[in-house]
Chains A and B, each alone.
Chain A
Amino acid sequence: MSDKVEKDEVSGTDTTGHEWDGIKELDTPMPRWWLWTMYGTIIWAIGYWIVMPAWPLISSHTAGFLGYSSRGSLEQELADATAAHAEDRNALVTMELSAVKNNSQLYQFALRGGKSAFAVNCSQCHGSGAQGAPGFPNLNDDDWLWGGDVDAIYETIKYGIRSDHDDTRIGEMPAFLTDEMLTKEQINDAAEYILSLSEKREDMAAVDRGQDVFMENCAACHGDKAKGGRDFGAPNLTDAIWFYGKDKDVILRTISRGRNNVMPAWVDRLDDATIRQLALYVHSLGGGE
């Protein structure tokens, strides 16, 4: 490179002195505004390192003078949101649940809150549309094991079913084969009888035998007419809704080994206002009584 800066003849601009195949590279200066913007960003970055969390250390990081953290800001936002709704939440916990519907503003608040709480806490088992799955009830329909009015739903959510809470409700479907209460043949007869309640069966002799087995062993909880009983959470066996499925194999398995699913108690995990929102939301899904 020559010591003297060479000028390009055409543009009058300095060249860098680099030349390829007769083409010389111009040394066009940066536009001022661009340069000052870049200096500005550097100064900004230094200020940012000082006031905001920036540099990783061995076990933590520099905290910054403003004391900002994204976790803290989220907590603050959540607290602000809760505080902003304080009035509605207080109204919700002091009011009869069945009366909330008459206050449309409060009801809408409850439904929206319930919807989001459902998505966070309930959808894992009951599905995002509350449509349920085998072993997890569909909350849209009109069939309720433990009662479908809003107070019953509230109680179910609050204390759970077969949960570890003292006030939980318990019902037990025994394991008739495992515990040697019935033989395989008897269980088959009982299943035939149960299926005969909602569809036509071919082996009527088995159905008749099954009716006796049912009356002796099942009617205590499921009722003489197999319509179920809410005191024990015993399902109605005559309707179109099947908790675990309508296949005979599934029914045989249920009678043989029993079923004791758990709905957790939410009283210690969610505040009362949220549980009430959830109860109202579930009640609004179409099957509420």
Chain B
Amino acid sequence: MVNSSVENIDVRPVNKKENRALFEKREKIQPKKARGNFRRLKWIIMGVTLAIYYITPWIRWDRGESGPDQAVLVDLARERFYFFFIELWPQEVYYITGLLILAAISLFLVTSLFGRAWCGYSCPQTVWTDLFIFVERMVEGDRNARLKLDKAPTSVSKFGKRLLKHSIWIVIGVLTGGAWVFYFADAPTLLRELFTFEAPVIAYSSVAVLTATTYVFGGLMREQVCTYMCPWPRIQGAMVDEDTLTVTYHSARGEPRGPHKKGESWTDRGHCIDCNQCVAVCPMGIDIRDGLQLECITCALCIDACNDVMDKIDLPRGLIGYDTHAGQFDSNPERKLDIRFIRPRTIAYGLILALVGAVMLFTLLNRSVLDVNVIRDRNPLFVTLSDGSIRNGYTVKILNKIHETRQFQIEVVGLKNAQAWIESGPPIGLPMIVTVPADALSSYKLFISAPAQNLPGKTSDIDVVVTDFKSNERDIQETSFKGPEK
């Protein structure tokens, strides 16, 4: 008699290498529900990540009169990126580079320690697929019920279930796309506009595209996105080493596998009773007992399934568990995990992370709130005036990066007997004082003229000095003054 407490499942790991011929129609995977610690952890992470995604655009942050009060906002029209206390202008896009480096190295570090933890728990594809499978299970039942429904002839109740499932999926898709657009505009305003059909076309089309991709990726394509579209599974091989924790089938303990009758001896055989529970719960359609493979996203649901079985047949848990490569060949069920967190690889990743993070933090904290650009006219290079003096023209751009109107004085240093004035600014001779609105760029036309005999040569080095009236913050820009050949 087969061990009565464990259901023996007839399931085929459809993505097992031998089972997956080219050009064959995809066989839909119907994962069975798993119960256990990892399933619980996954529910929690799903809740947290979805909450972050949906709540973030609604967090308010006071920036005074001249700034938006949304904490996280990508303002494409005004070319600003707001993130709580950080505000970035387009020319500071290099912070994004730093952020991408941090993200990539963090991914490397986590992968070298815990394998594909990102894939298994927090990747949006995993989170939304999990959510879609949850809906499917609520509407159509668990694996067996769904298989039965697939085979059942067309009927009103089958059609109704299908309709309900796809409708909920599409609603989730709409909500996903709907939340996305709030990152790009004032969320409460946009929400009202979306419902009154006053929102910009791009908002509706973004929602539509993201609805479609969410529905297709989460509902229809699922594991194929990970296996065929995502580059990360291909890269992971370079990140994983013999000390990396991965979801491991302890083959030394499990083999030789085979059905087990209650009361039978466990000597001369492995602990795997070949119940196929690990295969049935796998959302990727593989058999973890084949070892680590490209398709495995290390979602750890097979661990939950196997532990459940081990409890029922009174064997120690952990036939499938997080372990290092070495653990695979250890047949001792009481094996203690010996994880080497400190390895040359993790030290290197950690150092890079700390370095890039420190540089970013330092530059962010010392970010200048005044930026000045001086651009010399090149056409014409210089102008001869009627009294024989030489005039040069410059465009002075002042970026006031705080939410306060500021006054600046512009001065020119380094040229004898020179006169400087701003086009349609204060009359010649008076200090050149300009007012730059809060959080804005202002552009001024600066003219400098000097008697030709005072010029040392074709080119003279000069400085344009811009000083904040109130704070005395100062920006000195080196430029040159051109004249005719001497």
Contact = CB atoms under 8 A, between A and B. Distances in A.
A141 B445 contact: no
A240 interface: yes
Given A29-B23, A284-B423, A284-B424, A129 B384 contact: no
A101 B383 CA distance: 24
A192 interface: no
A241 B23 contact: no
B100 to A, nearest CB: 30
A150 to B, nearest CB: 11
Interface residues of A, number: 24
Contacts of B391: 140-141, 286
B55 to A, nearest CB: 37
Nearest to B391: A286
A189 interface: no
A142 B423 contact: no
Contact of A141 (B21, B23, B377, B384): B384
Nearest to B389: A240
B385 interface: yes
A239 interface: yes
B388 A240 contact: yes
A240 B383 CA distance: 11
Interface of B: 21, 23, 377-380, 383-388, 391, 393, 423-424, 445, 447
Given A141-B385, A142-B385, A286-B445, 18 more contacts: A12-B21, A28-B23, A29-B23, A107-B424, A128-B379, A131-B380, A141-B386, A143-B385, A239-B388, A240-B384, A240-B385, A240-B386, A241-B385, A241-B386, A284-B423, A284-B445, A286-B423, A287-B383
Interface in A9-43: 12, 28-29, 31
8 contacts: A12-B21, A31-B23, A127-B379, A127-B380, A239-B387, A240-B384, A241-B386, A287-B383
A236 B387 CA distance: 11
Contacts of B424: 101, 107, 284
A207 B383 CA distance: 30
Interface string A102-131: 000001000000000000000000011111
Nearest to B23: A29
**Max count, chain B CB within 10 A of own CB: residue among A12, A140, A143, A287:** A140
A131 B379 CA distance: 7
Given A29-B23, A131-B379, A284-B445, A241 B423 contact: no
Given A29-B23, A284-B423, A284-B424, A240 B380 contact: no
Contact of A286 (B23, B378, B379, B447): B447
A141 B379 CA distance: 13
A143 B391 CA distance: 13
A140 B447 CA distance: 11
A138 interface: yes
A134 to B, nearest CB: 14
Pairs A-B, 5 closest by C-beta atoms? A129-B379, A131-B380, A239-B386, A240-B388, A140-B383
Interface string A124-165: 000111110000001011110000000000000000000000
B386 A143 contact: yes
Nearest to A104: B424
Contacts of A129: 377-380
Contacts of B384: 141, 240-241
B393 A286 contact: yes
B452 to A, nearest CB: 9
A238 B279 CA distance: 99
Nearest to A242: B384
Contacts of B380: 127, 129-131, 138, 140
A195 B384 CA distance: 18
A140 B391 CA distance: 9
A240 to B, nearest CB: 4
Contacts of B423: 284, 286
B225 to A, nearest CB: 14
A15 to B, nearest CB: 15
A129 B380 CA distance: 6
Nearest to B386: A239
Nearest to B388: A240
A140 B423 CA distance: 12
A142 B384 CA distance: 9
A127 B383 CA distance: 14
